Structure 1
């Protein structure tokens, strides 16, 4: 069943201005001013301006008089549209094969078959919201069974994310205002004059009188929102994207036929990539069906690739998920992410060193939804900050871990507080109570003192941790620490924690 994500960008004009001019302080209020002839009014405001009482539609002179510190910038719809298109193209490479611009302030995408790559719907939506926030963009993200349902819910909420369960779209939108039905503003105003307020009231009214007065648009939007009529999403495409297409005079549907044409499309795509000296990192197969709906499959590789056999295998492993319905009339293969790739030079030596390439294994796991990565060292004495995740096939890093002191094989996600008996300030615990089990300490080594990083956080100016390696009577070795130096309370709470487990 199709699932649609709508990303609403309510502050796109002001967010674009802030991203373009980094000298504007975060607390500075901004209002975007539109004009027509001699009339000037507020067309967009940021959060700070809203708190001051400035709102969309207010006359520019009144807004300036209301808030003297207001920064007023002329509206630039063309720049806003270009920014939205760039953001949409970026979203295409990150989240789903079917992504499109949604009006003047949003993005819509079909995530069927792509949410498993993000860990499920809830982690996917949280990741989208967090990534947009990290880019300085305010976003409201909603997922529902239909484009209209997701669009309305994203614009009706003040929360970052909204998940409408499968089959609950009608219930979710029936109490929302009719302005969220994506109708022309004149029709919305006329419906309000007639007393209509919510989508549910409009849906429960006989269609014939509405169609006679307003035409078929109301019925069409209601059916699209409730899922009675399909609403295909036309994916965004740019001149930079490399794509190859195959149309069929007679619709196809057999698995063998689909795989055959997938192989042919891969050959064509690789030929285009080779002409430009590129390798593909992310490729989308989009099939268009006779009923106007689309279905897509995404395949990614850890490194740039243009090996025909391997790319064909990645798609053939997943083509059984394609539901042809009444038949497929068009197939498109798109390289949504490509990187430079030179020709491989073969060794001239008589005996070549055997190199084990695990990239194919990484690709298989990655396309099944598993998150494959490597850990790399970071220059930090604080254990939880001394490691980071990097791409599984990334180039080796020059940095190395400092090995003056023993480090556990397993570092806990968060240190776990424990009860101990120890003579402070320098003696290890006599026993440790961890996870409901009291462990008598048979041997211990330490302390190793680690100081806080005052340049990272002011609260760590005087922070200290004393680490010990302790072995219990069962032979299990733990990495524990005391917060503080055991004397001065300003250095820490003097509580004990387990931070890691040795092999």
Structure 2
């Protein structure tokens, strides 16, 4: 909300059944009696100078998701609770912040400092926490504290709550003495499900907003760090711990992500993330640390004192068993050469991009544009079939082939002269034709040409070209000629 509107009555609207309905109000509007559910005309009757804006549920949901991501500093198990809440499973995490009250106070303080009006509650179950934070006292967490809460605290539909009120049941405690079979018969199993979830009789697992990786290490600092040496040292420590876990699982990292949390970040700010990929599974901390060196230079320290938390995750892994090396370290059983090559490939990929570092492997196709296929450099592939002897291919192909004007004396003779890009080339030597047809299962091929007659020609300047005539020669048609590549 803009700062100038915080002290003035302000509401958000949406259209329901051709009516403008209030869906959210600020404190100034609430003090005037305006509440969600009022129509715009009713709200204007209470305050003619009311400020209004259109509600944006999608933006609200995205903001709530960012808050849930930010809350991962307290626990990796966080999720957005639409439309206005975040649920956090702090099991085993509270002691890291000085206990549950200290954690709640720190969380609430940070949210208030970021401009959010927030309430927190800690309970034994997510359902109990949901009811306490909205209808009760957040300081209470015992089951008895739920007894005095209204039935709406069980997250029941409004129609079901009205039906229970008709029976004289208004508080959660009123349900304790009621027969379960009668409640289920009249209101369905949903009532008992919500009731049991609040009391802890039925588990309600929290699905985290993002899947928690199997291999993840976190390091929170007592004092913020800002120097390159301290950041590199912290990363080396995280890599050592992460690689130990990978080794115990027989895995190697294929993709790593380092999330950097700064002290000056707002609640809804995404942490800066640095990601790198490896050409094959790896778990050598020293090698991975060297790969991270150019990425660490991109870390933005901001205006605060530095970084407060680093989170390192292996977001993608692959099997990696122990490797037997030679005694001398350079024998045929040693993998040192492959490791050095893999590290070089990874460094080039970080600098140039993963798609720029590829290996071209022969493919069983006679079509020049399909005779090779790109593959990851370190991928294990079966031995390719060699290209047939006596059929040289150009090192450079034009994509697509460029049309040329050619003069040939007979239907199957090589051209005597061709003009490419306005420059004439007189042919001194020529070989061919070599006839290539497109695979019948691919139709006319990627160029729309079913048959080609290729010629290797050399002009008077010694330059060698690869030309082809498209289709069979027909006396009543002018043949089409193309330049497809350059030979040596």
Q: Same fold by TM (over 0.5)?
A: yes
Runs of 4+ aligned structure 1 residues displaced above 4 Å come to 206-225, 227-233, 348-351, 458-462
Pair 1:390-2:390 in alignment: no
User: What does residue range 19-418 of structure 1 map to in structure 2 within 5 Å?
Assistant: 187-189=13-15, 193-194=19-20, 213=34, 231=66, 234=69, 237-290=210-263, 291=265, 292=267, 293=269, 294-325=271-302, 326=304, 327-348=306-327, 352-353=331-332, 355=337, 357-370=340-353, 371-400=356-385, 401-418=387-404
Q: Which has the higher contact order (CA 8 A, sep 6+)?
A: 1
Is the 1:479–1:501 contact (alpha carbons within 8 Å) kept by the matching residues of 2?
A: yes
How far residue 210 of structure 1 moved from its aligned partner, in angstroms, is 10
* Bigger Rg, structure 1 or 2: 2
Counterparts in 2 of 1:351 and 1:397: CA distance versus 1, 3 Å? closer
Question: What SS is found at the alignment partner of 2:346?
Answer: helix
TM-score by length of 2: 0.56
TM-score by length of 1: 0.54
Counterparts in 2 of 1:191 and 1:271: CA distance versus 1, 3 Å? farther
CA-atom RMSD in angstroms:
4.0
Q: Deviations over 1:404-463 (max 9, x none)?
A: 411111122211111111124111111111122111111100000111211121679992
How far residue 494 of structure 1 moved from its aligned partner, in angstroms, is 2.9
Is the 1:443–1:470 contact (alpha carbons within 8 Å) kept by the matching residues of 2?
A: yes
Residues of 1 paired with 2:64 and 2:445: CA distance? 57
Counterparts in 2 of 1:237 and 1:228: CA distance versus 1, 3 Å? closer
The alignment of Structure 1 onto Structure 2 pairs a total of residues equal to 309
Is the 1:486–1:494 contact (alpha carbons within 8 Å) kept by the matching residues of 2?
A: yes
Q: Which moved more, 1:263-272 or 1:351-360?
A: 351-360
* Aligned partner (choices 428, 431, 453) of residue 466 of structure 1: 453
Residues of 2 paired with 1:319 and 1:425: CA distance? 64
Residues of 1 paired with 2:432 and 2:464: CA distance? 13
Q: Deviations over 1:359-411 (max 9, x none)?
A: 11110111124320001111111111111110011124322233341111112
User: What does residue range 448-467 of structure 1 map to in structure 2 within 5 Å?
Assistant: 448-457=434-443, 463-467=450-454
Is the 2:438–2:444 contact (alpha carbons within 8 Å) kept by the matching residues of 1?
A: no
Q: Deviations over 1:22-57 (max 9, x none)?
A: xxxxxxxxxxxxxxxxxxxxxxxxxxxxxxxxxxxx
How far residue 224 of structure 1 moved from its aligned partner, in angstroms, is 6.9
What runs of 5+ residues in structure 1 fail to find an aligned partner?
Answer: 1-183, 197-205
How far residue 214 of structure 1 moved from its aligned partner, in angstroms, is 6.3
- Aligned counterpart, 2:121: none
- Aligned counterpart, 1:4: none
Residues of 2 paired with 1:409 and 1:455: CA distance? 27
- Aligned counterpart, 2:429: 443
Is the 1:224–1:230 contact (alpha carbons within 8 Å) kept by the matching residues of 2?
A: no
Is the 1:479–1:500 contact (alpha carbons within 8 Å) kept by the matching residues of 2?
A: yes
How far residue 242 of structure 1 moved from its aligned partner, in angstroms, is 1.1
Counterparts in 2 of 1:423 and 1:217: CA distance versus 1, 3 Å? farther
